[in-house]
Structure 1
Amino acid sequence: MQSTIEVNGLTKRYGQATAVDNVTFAVRPGEVTAFIGPNGAGKSTTMRIILGLDSADGTVLINGSRYRDLDDPLRVIGALLDANAVHPGRTARNHLRWLAYTNSIPAARVDAVLAQVGLSSVANKRVGGFSLGMRQRLGIAGALLGDPPILMFDEPGNGLDPEGVIWIRTFMRELAAAGRTVFVSSHLMSELEGTADHLLIMGVGRLVADISMAELLAGASGDRIDVRTPQPTEAMTALANAGGEASTLTTGVITVRGLAGDQVAAALAAAQVTFTEMRAHQASLEEAYLDLTRNVTEFSASPEAAT
């Protein structure tokens, strides 16, 4: 059987509040699936339910079984949900030895995963003295301990330095390339854009999108054209007069809807507006995500609040 997480009709309520609302999706092997959404969207609650830490209506199957029915859960699914859920008085090695012993995993795996995450040199140091980034690495080591085919990480890059962020991005790609199922929740859009193959996007407890990264970015890019010009105000006026819809993208760059490339060039030439570059717009994940979740964000800042 392929290593999958299958969620069907998942609903979780706290009193009158619905944290997860009839969510259905599948996470499959051989790709990195990113689980994203605004704060309060229900991502962490869903991950906790998958691991049997919270009860809910609906079904969650891991390799066709409920988590509580797995004989050796750490050999099936490894997870990092909270890097601080470690006794501060234990050393990194003893923390992993305890996990290995209670899950019938050979003790030899402890030093192997410590080396895998780059913590061999601090294996005998107490976790209470670890930075958040070091605890993240220790949590990832714990997830890897049973050599499971399914891995689930909640904000694995939190607290990591730039080298660590590059490492976890590369590491997740390697895990997926080896045929494992990788399910990751993160707010680091720039990192996910170069890491994830598939996206599950949540908003106020509901699944907003279940889509490949390529499909989302292509749809968000649309038929827009970006123009770099030293005369942005004049360019926007000329393009609006030609029937286009122009807006500022960044300093010196505008983006245009409703006109083909030759029409943009003709309108600028007719108005004697200079431009140095014209190209098809390529949306970033952050741009696509913000556009998609604009109306499903529970907490948002008001510009007036800063005045």
Structure 2
Amino acid sequence: MTQSLEITDLTKTYGAVHALDKVSLSVAPGERVALLGHNGAGKSTLMKIILGLIPHDTGTVTVTGTTPGSVAARGATAYLPENVAFHPALTGLEQIRHYLRLRGERSDHAMDLLSRVGLADAAKRRIGTYSKGMRQRVGLAQALIGKPRLLVLDEPTSGLDPVSRRDFYALLDGLAAEGAAILLSSHALTEVEARTDRLVILSAGVVVTQGALSDLRRQADLPVTVHVTARSGGKERLAEALPQGRMNGTGVNLRCAQSDKMETLARVSELGPLVTDIDVQPPSLEDIYSHFSRRDGQ
């Protein structure tokens, strides 16, 4: 499959500072990839190179098969920054109509775009009266113009309430299903954990790991938490049977290595009537991110 974004051994320096060091990643059509990293990790620099705003030193970058910043690449790429800025005197409808005309699209599509991002009711209000989350949705509507093949999104849910965030990711799911490639930068690890296909962790300009969440869990090899719920009145007996665990309000918490998970579950199942439920909690994306970030720092 032809990649919508292909980056190989990308390097960018500012004097003696290596902002990016041999970075390689790709995003295929229909794929949602999360770019994670601390402030200063190189995410913004990478996005600027993808958009053709700054040059890179060495390595290769292709955007939908062409050079970043070229007419073809710009026409196929949409970008949403963390902090969008629009003219406060214009209404949402007027702003999107303006961008449609700039892109050579029909301006009567503006209301459809605003409806997709949940702004139909506020379309004729001045943007100066919008909340930060509403302005962010105007930015997303602008990014959807022309059915882009690659979306580059920098902290796109900044300022959105929980319902709007859910709707935003549902919209991304639909775009990916239609074949759009999505590169999403975010600090909201809980959000991207369940709504992206692959994860790329960038630290100090270096890709320390990448892959599906299941791949990263295997690489990190962090302990699994098993919560064993005791039957009514049997918590003390359960704690005696599982002395390696830690008692909590409803039962016992056990921590075990990934390789010992099945053996631990088999041992718990032998306790029979003492147990009413077992909940296996794998390491979260936050745990995995902290693990790889600390390892890189060390």
TM bucket normalised to smaller: 0.7 to 0.9
Are the aligned partners of 1:38 and 1:297 in contact in 2 as well (CA < 8 Å)? Answer: no
What letter corresponds to residue 99 of structure 2 in structure 1?
L
| Paired position in structure 2 for 1:191 | 191
User: Closer, same or farther in 2 for the Cα pair 1:149/1:292, shift >3 Å?
Assistant: same
Worse-superposed segment, 84-93 or 218-227: 218-227
Answer with 154-163 or 208-217: which moved more: 208-217
Within 5 Å, which residues of 2 pair with 1:82-231?
Answer: 82-220=82-220, 224=224, 226-228=226-228, 230=235
The separation in 2 between residues aligned to 1:3 and 1:262, in whole angstroms, is 42
- Where 2:168 maps in the other structure, the secondary structure is helix
Q: Cα distance, 1:286 vs. partner?
A: 1.8
- Aligned 8 A contact 1:109 1:145 in 2: no
Structure 1 residue 297: Cα displacement: 6.0
Q: CA deviation at 1:165?
A: 0.9
Counterpart in the other structure of 1:70:
71
Q: CA deviation at 1:55?
A: 2.4
Q: Name the count of aligned residue pairs.
A: 286
Question: Does the aligned pair in 1 maintain the 2:83–2:136 contact within 8 Å?
Answer: yes
Cα distance 1:67–1:97, how it changes in 2: closer, same or farther (>3 A)?
A: farther
SS for the counterpart of 1:54 is: coil
RMSD: 3.2
Runs of 4 or more, structure 1, over 3 Å off, are: 217-225, 227-231, 234-239, 246-252, 262-266, 274-281, 295-298
Contact 1:3 1:150 in 2 (8 A): no
What is the match of residue 261 of structure 1?
Answer: 264
The answer (yes or no) to whether the contact 1:3–1:180 under 8 Å persists in 2 is no
Question: Which residue in the other structure is 1:304 paired with?
Answer: none
Point out where structure 1 has 5 or more consecutive residues left out of the alignment.
240-245, 299-307
Q: Secondary structure at the match of 1:226?
A: strand
1:165-193 Cα offsets, whole Å, 9 max, x none, are 11011111111122211111111222112
Q: Which 5+ residue runs of structure 2 have no aligned equivalent? A: 230-234
Shift of 1:235: 6.8
* SS of equivalent residue, structure 1 residue 98: helix
Which amino acid letter does the alignment assign opposite residue 210 of structure 1? Answer: Q
Moved more, 279-288 or 23-32: 279-288
- TM value normalised by structure 2: 0.82
Q: Using a 3 Å threshold, how does the CA distance of structure 1 residues 123 and 263 change in structure 2: closer, same or farther?
A: closer
* Distance in 1 (alpha carbons) for counterparts of 2:161 and 2:131: 11
The change in CA–CA distance for 1:249 and 1:151 in structure 2 (over 3 A counts) is farther
Label 1:148 to 1:263 Cα distance change in 2 as closer, same or farther (>3 A).
Answer: closer
Cα gap change, 1:108/1:223 in structure 2, threshold over 3 Å: closer, same or farther?
same
Q: In structure 1, what is the equivalent of residue 284 of structure 2?
A: 284
Partner Cα distance (1:9, 1:281) in 2: 36
Counterpart Cα distance in 2 of 1:78 and 1:110: 16
Which one-letter code corresponds to 2:208 in the other structure?
A: V
Shift in alpha-carbon separation, 1:3–1:213, aligned structure 2, 3 A: same
- What is the distance in 2 between the residues matched to 1:177 and 1:119? 23
What SS does the corresponding residue of 1:7 show, helix, strand or coil? strand
1:45 aligned partner: 45
Distance 1:223 1:280, change over 3 A: farther
Identical counterparts, % of pairs: 32
